[in-house]
Structure 1
Amino acid sequence: MDESRPDPYDDINEAVERDWKAETTPSERVKSVIRHTYTPTSAADIADGAQTSPKTARKHLTSLAEDGFVTTTAGAHGATLYRRSDESLITERANRLLAEQSAEELAERVTELRAQINEYRETYGVESPEELAVQLGRETLDDTGADTRTDGSVVTEWQTTRRNVAFANAAISIAEATEHITGDRSPSVPADDSR
């Protein structure tokens, strides 16, 4: 085997990166990188991922921050760090839900999910998945009732259900606001009690 030849995967990755850089603007690449950046990250690291200079990345990140797509925080030595804003994630997910279902269908789904949350509360005798996690931790430490202990995955399922209610409610709110602006009204949705 010829060891001087590059790994074929390196060639493929380089070709994909070249094509991406040729087919997109620095602004598009910065937005693509920050779209998947959930922890505070330096402009230099984002620039590296976006194949542009830190100065260019910083310019586009500043613009995205002004638009609410990016959140900034102060890093060490006064550096600005960037990450995707929670609001932009919520809006994107809500709009995706609205593309798949009507506000009325989402309202029905919220009712079903709230019933599921109430069932968790009644079944486990606690008000939140976090309280259930504490309860499960105590059971583990006590090491009693090993055969009857609740599977820890219930905590994750409850949290996911609660998060899905929040996203569906956000989608419904966007639909109602849009309809209000255009002069239409949709049926109201019951108040949220999905702690």
Structure 2
Amino acid sequence: MSESSRDGVRSWSETDSARERIRSIAETLREPRSVNWISDQAEAAWGTTKEELESLVEQGRIRRVAVGDATRYEPDYTTLLFEEIRALIGDNSREALRDELAAITEEVETWRETYGVETWEELERSLADDDLSSEDLRERRDVIGFWRENEADRQLIKHALSLYSDVESARETMADAADGAAS
């Protein structure tokens, strides 16, 4: 038994299938990567990796890009964006989305007041201040990460709210069409 298993912590290669690991990596890449790189990161066989990547390309979740003479893979960011928006709308009421948007705004306002800055970029520049303790640096670094996540979440929520009525109308139209076909 591995040391991590004895401690009750299992590695992802023990808990996720090779295909799940490949998908997880491929859909979160920040830059185009090769089959070999993804295979190494996923701790998966090259053939399995290539097969899963091609399946993800066919599904429109990732895309092939040419980098010189080499083929690389990267997420299809448009597809992933719309899936996230769709999930937000499907899993949350309009009111819940509004509440989350208000909570994010309140948290950002608190950080602005606490650190005397307007943006996370300004807070990041403050890390160079000589008078900050290591604890202050760690705290600010953590806040920068949360702030950036909040900005991304805020954009998604705004998109979801702006499309909410359209999605509801489309669902109603499809339900009416299905009822009409059934009768």
Q: Which amino acid aligns with 1:166?
A: Q
Measure the CA separation in 1 of the matches of 2:132 and 2:163. 47
Cα shift at 1:160? 2.1
| 8 Å Cα contact 1:103/1:175 also seen in 2 | yes
Which residue of 63, 81, 90 maps to 2:58?
A: 63
Gaps of 5+ in 1: 1-12, 21-28, 185-195
Gaps of 5+ in 2: 1-12, 174-183
Tell me which protein shows more helix as a share of its residues. Answer: 2
Q: TM-score, normalised by structure 2?
A: 0.60
Corresponding residue for residue 124 of structure 1:
115
Corresponding residue for residue 168 of structure 1:
157
- Identity fraction in percent: 22
| 8 Å Cα contact 2:62/2:73 also seen in 1 | yes
The aligned runs of 1:38-187 (5 Å cut-off) are 38=29, 39-43=31-35, 49=45, 51-52=47-48, 54=50, 60=55, 62-64=57-59, 67=60, 69-75=61-67, 77-137=68-128, 139=129, 142=130, 144=131, 146=133, 149=136, 151-152=139-140, 153-182=142-171
Q: Which amino acid aligns with 1:155?
A: I
- Aligned to 1:41, what secondary structure does the other structure show? coil
Cα shift at 1:97? 3.1
Cα shift at 1:102? 0.8
The two structures, once aligned, show a CA RMSD in angstroms of 3.8
| 8 Å Cα contact 1:41/1:81 also seen in 2 | yes
Q: Which has the larger radius of gyration?
A: 1
Structure 1 residues 95 and 112: alpha-carbon distance in aligned structure 2, compared to 1, 3 A threshold? same
Cα shift at 1:86? 2.4
Q: Which amino acid aligns with 1:154?
A: V
